[in-house]
Structure 1
């Protein structure tokens, strides 16, 4: 193949152009510096695609990225190269996304908020929303519409560290992850401990103060003591205890100085919600100590009112104390023997007690057997004894004036 000669120069006179053409020299009307800039820009625009299509060697591709403080993880295949990601050689990189969003996109307002800095949550934009997209790191094009299914925009936190927290009453809890994100008039504080989350969003705009609090339990709990630490901390926070937070041995936050009183007032709504879980896990801890066991793999969906009743029965047996429970009433057949007639003769003030036995059961992956127990109906009343005697009703109905029973387990 014959070589091709080129001349790069600016403003060559027409008569010289004639001689260049005659000698088959290709003329490029440009300064050398401008051409180099143009070539570099071409590489910035195309090197990713060219490398994926094996038009550029791995060595040249990697060296070009290094010149712009970038690196990427790659997978070399027979027909194509796959670029898995890009990152900076020395920390943060300048990343710029230029795109046009269709005005009919359902979440266009969130996109506008993000463009104005008014976002504190991760924003995922579907590919269908874009009219065009150009995504660059350090000026190098790393993606366009053909490369994505969605675009995720994440705010950069202003604080993202583990902290140790001490409360004014001396209680401490360590290794809490705290992430603070600020966007315009809103600040979001996300606290994580043992996969439990406490989220606080504060909006201050035009002298208006809005507080949003969210609380999410870990879905699977493997350590009762550690979980209790979280609930104790939330209880202290909900009751207005001031806190000091330390990171790397230094005080980074104190609510005494920075917490608006309105935030502390907003925490009060947490109290009832958190109290149920606090009491529940205190009972689990007492049971662990009594029976020398450890609860693990606790499904948070099984931490319920129904199972709380069972916990109360176990605690009742441990403490050898009667337990009071709600009682709606009971109906049963009764033989009309002389003994039973005498038993229910005093309809106004009957003394009614039942003996029962609770079979073996499993709670949070541990087996229990509470065994025999007595049931006393508190202030019982017989609704239809006369009807039973007359043969009108087959079953006798007994209720409690207080809607309560007392259960006492035997040793």
Structure 2
């Protein structure tokens, strides 16, 4: 039988979240909840979770809410990790295999638990997962470099760490203070420890950067998403020209239901596309009388609000204006400043022509092509 101990009693001071680290949310669920998914998907019959000794209630409530709660026992931990593991080991029979795991490694795949368990069963000794050191490692004394270590002989050790339960219990009973992992306790008592290949996903969440990395891996929508928007309007000399949120006196305008600002329309379309929120026509189409004459910048700011409601935020936008007139260069700084403020992210604008080809080349219209980059926490939104 295999029992996993999940250490979740830490206060998380280094993470600075103001709560026990195991309860810090990642993509809508606590770190401990994610970690238990990986543990219980492996060939593990029981799990013992160590909770913060001063306040075990939240961990107990989290476990009770799980469908597999019957397989999990919660015990108050100790003041240190070493004390917590010693307490949890009392819940494990000596003839079992025990896997000790940190809740702060919430993305650890279940295959790694099975790999460690299988190696313990074969060797009858301690087993730890490890990754080869990627960086050059120096020994230092204060700010002085003392030596360069041979990284071919170094490895970054992860959890779960597996052992015959009785042997680990005896090692903990004899252990002094100051051990940072279970393998060092086991080795100090004379136990042999071997390594198996670790997993990059089994990294430990210690800092805010680690937390952000975990969020991006657990919540795919946290990754950058791109969208493209295209808008074209024919020339209408009877109307004023609005382009990029500014008026162009003396230039022929563009025909359209709103102000026909192709730059703003393309930006709004690109943002909606990136967030999966449809398109400009579906949101602000010509079938809506209230949109008649609407300023293009208003479409942009309303689109940004729609993204915020769906959990997205713009990262950057690039726009290419296609047409013979007007020349974008003289007013580029004015346009990019105004649009960047409307989007809440950097916007770049450039202009080009089509060398006399097509509607824009003949001076019969102006087009704009926009590419937007967004990020956010939401899942794939649905159209209303």
TM-score by length of 2: 0.26
Structure number with the higher strand fraction is 1
Larger radius of gyration: 1
* Bigger proportion of residues as helix: 2
